[in-house]
Structure 1
Amino acid sequence: MWNPDSFVEQLLNKAQALRNKKMSDGGDWNTHRLRLRQRLTETLGDFSDYANVPLDPHELERAELDSFIRERVEYRTADGLLVPAYVVSSKESTGQRRPAILALHGHGWGSREMVGLLPDGSPNTSVPSGHGRTVLELAARGFVVLIPEIVGFGDRLLLRDEGGGDPKANSCFPLAAALLLAGKTLAGLRVYEASRAIDYLAMRTDVDADRIGVIGFSGGGMVASLAAALDERLRTAAIFGYTNTYRASILNRRHCLDNYLPGVLQYAEMPELLGLIAPRPLFIESGKEDPLFPARHVIDAVKVLKDIYRIYDCEERVTLDLFEGAHEIKGRASFDWLQAMV
């Protein structure tokens, strides 16, 4: 009797009604799209003051593996923000400019997990990971793959969160809270850093700057989708284990605070934000048994996306792969798709 459930439901329904009214009053999709991009940019927070900070990249280490070269590099995104990142490429493609992939990891132990290493940097030969062998599979297909350490994970924890003994510990909540109080969002900071990662890739002599795509898994899928929505230098996007609706996924259980964008449901649901990627090719991959992002609502989201792409007469550029599995990357069709599309 004293539960606030009905109030919350009314609140969300009012937000949906407001969103629908803005859509119906907003004219054609292109007009709505411009407003949507502006609102999303405002919601994420303004990071433009940092956009001209010199990256000043340099190599930290280089490992020659059987078929691959794995570099660790560092670059600057703001005063007080240094980003360590791995770059993985095939030995067979050295000496030429190649297409590149910006690969954004999910929750876990950060960039090391995505390149197949344990938290201590040793090879991961036994610990299951939802990221699978994604990076090596893409490098084998000729991509230069950049895997930045997303702020709040791995080597980029707040000092107060270090040393607890849990390799999967993160600083998402205190970072998100601090940024919200400062009028910004953690999602916005991560999207900004993704844009600087693209800047870094474009600087590399082994990368074709006109052929850069992005992939992201889980929380990295959020960053990848928003980055692709706002940065048209990204030719394609493949989103793993994320695409859904906010009401069916993010609001359906307790999620990391980095997922919550102030006021977003007043102007867009998740598929509409991903629709900003149109008409560029988009691949959605999700497990049928994913407990975080339910499969039936993945299908709902893709229907909305296809409607948006249909405006551009290119609904075939949205590809969905629902596989037998849970919250993980499968790659059974997406890796070859990336090779064809980037």
Structure 2
Amino acid sequence: MTSAARTRAANVPAVRPSAIAGYEDWPAYVREHPRHEASTPAAQEFSDALGVPGGGALPAVTVHWEETYDGATTSQLSWQLGFGPRTTGWLVRPAGSKGPLPGILALHCHGGNKFGGADRLVELPDTHPSAAAARAGHYDGRALATDIARRGFAVLAHDTFGWGSRKFDLSTPPWRTASATAARQAQWREDGVVPSDADQYNAAAGFHEDTVAKAAGLLGTSLAGMVAHDDLAALDILAALPDVDQDRLGCIGFSGGGGRSLALSVLSPRIRAAVVTCMMTTFESLFPAYLDAHSWLLQTPGLWKLGDWPELTTRAADARFLVQYALADELFPEDGMRQAHRILESLHAGSGRYTGSFRPGGHVFTAAMQDEALDFLAKTLAF
């Protein structure tokens, strides 16, 4: 054996790391639950384009703790889906409320932060620094789910596939992820940066998302399809809670969470009100300069064949939409947002199903936008 070959052999682990650590049971689950059954042919086409797997029975929910602070009662919940790690979620309600309350599923953003998930949306006694940073950077410092609950809603915020409690185990990253992460770590050392555990995980997870998307495609699904699977399960859990009025359900999300909000409104006829914030444009406007601004959560292969992103709203059974645009959004060109707005106005003319709102500023769910969204939810869900 040559010296170079011996060096290569010494650097190769005896056991090849798993590319889907923590999710080794994922392929079997998708084979056993190949297809979500949607309520209409139009919704089924969308579901099949994303490759949304079917769900199992409603999972048992465990309540871990409950605390009341400043007008809101927060309960930490968890449940086990049919694959991968256990899901953590938080149910937030007005303190002392008597049901049934209108229910809202609060959908966290992508944000390049997979170390955490829905904790960025909830006031917690021990908020992790990464959640606090996400809240400060993307939500104007507000805990969105808790603020919604104080307005009279029961709000469920959950970690979805690949985030927080549902993240992949990257303690021994697969080879491509390890190689890319090593370069990032070298740059940190050169810059004198001491990364936190969250920084290191998020760097690895950013590279690993390509591997997850590759695995999902091989299994006949997609990153967005797997996220939608988890969101549909959470919606079923919310609807089944005794203090929730299952006939008055809505969802809200910013950025990647806004895309999840649109997807959920199409996939489930339960949704009556959907807020899509900083996640609306035309697909054409992403070419050629804006593709790299977005993750696999938006860019599902072949999705454009079903129509443009704003046109997907017509596949929702009965949802009303508030779509909020930020005029200086770094992730979307202004002309793409305005074209999407014109398409939506045309598609829903006279129906009252679409409200578009343009605001100054960048890719942030500002306090003013959140107030507008809460007013929309209250009015649409009529209480």
TM-score, length basis structure 1: 0.81
In structure 2, distance between residues paired with 1:227 and 1:182: 21
Displacement of 1:206 = 1.0
Q: Determine if the alignment matches structure 1 residue 128 to structure 2 residue 136.
A: yes
Displacement of 1:142 = 0.2
Task: Identify if the C-alpha distance between structure 1 residues 200 and 128 changes in structure 2 by more than 3 Å, giving closer, same or farther.
Answer: same
Query: Could you report, residue by residue, the CA deviation over 1:39-91 in whole angstroms, capped at 9, with x for unpaired residues?
Result: 3221111412xx23341111122222121111110122323352111111110
Task: Identify if the C-alpha distance between structure 1 residues 179 and 246 changes in structure 2 by more than 3 Å, giving closer, same or farther.
Answer: same
Q: Is the 8 A contact 2:94 2:149 kept in 1?
A: yes
Q: Determine if the alignment matches structure 1 residue 177 to structure 2 residue 187.
A: no
Match of 2:104 among 80, 84, 101: 101
Q: Is the 8 A contact 2:121 2:146 kept in 1?
A: no
Displacement of 1:207 = 0.6
In structure 2, distance between residues paired with 1:167 and 1:66: 34
1:297 aligns with: 336
1:149 aligns with: 159
1:158-307 counterparts in 2 under 5 A? 158-160=168-170, 164-166=197-199, 169=202, 170=205, 172-249=209-286, 252-254=290-292, 255-277=294-316, 279-307=318-346
Worse-matched range after superposition: 204-213 or 288-297: 288-297
Task: Identify if the C-alpha distance between structure 1 residues 168 and 188 changes in structure 2 by more than 3 Å, giving closer, same or farther.
Answer: same
In structure 2, distance between residues paired with 1:167 and 1:87: 29
Displacement of 1:121 = 7.4
Identity of aligned residues (%): 25
Query: Could you report, residue by residue, the CA deviation over 1:242-269 in whole angstroms, capped at 9, with x for unpaired residues?
Result: 0111222386231212322221222311
Match of 2:45 among 11, 16, 39: 39
In structure 1, distance between residues paired with 2:133 and 2:345: 39
Q: Which amino acid aligns with 2:91?
A: V
Q: Which amino acid aligns with 1:148?
A: H
* Secondary structure of residue in 1 paired with 2:157: strand
In structure 2, distance between residues paired with 1:167 and 1:129: 19
Q: Is the 8 A contact 2:272 2:318 kept in 1?
A: no
* Secondary structure of residue in 2 paired with 1:257: coil
Query: Could you report, residue by residue, the CA deviation over 1:292-329 in whole angstroms, capped at 9, with x for unpaired residues?
Result: 1233322211221222223xx41x33111111221111
Q: Is the 8 A contact 2:121 2:135 kept in 1?
A: no
Task: Identify if the C-alpha distance between structure 1 residues 87 and 267 changes in structure 2 by more than 3 Å, giving closer, same or farther.
Answer: same
Q: Which amino acid aligns with 2:98?
A: G
User: Max radius of gyration: which structure?
Assistant: 2
In structure 2, distance between residues paired with 1:167 and 1:105: 20
In structure 2, distance between residues paired with 1:205 and 1:34: 28
Q: Is the 8 A contact 2:84 2:166 kept in 1?
A: no
In structure 2, distance between residues paired with 1:268 and 1:125: 36
Q: Is the 8 A contact 1:244 1:301 kept in 2?
A: yes
1:10 aligns with: none
Q: Is the 8 A contact 1:217 1:240 kept in 2?
A: yes
Task: Identify if the C-alpha distance between structure 1 residues 216 and 125 changes in structure 2 by more than 3 Å, giving closer, same or farther.
Answer: closer
Task: Identify if the C-alpha distance between structure 1 residues 250 and 218 changes in structure 2 by more than 3 Å, giving closer, same or farther.
Answer: farther
1:26 aligns with: none
Structure 1 segments unaligned to the other structure (5+ residues): 1-32
1:65 aligns with: 69
Q: Is the 8 A contact 2:266 2:313 kept in 1?
A: yes
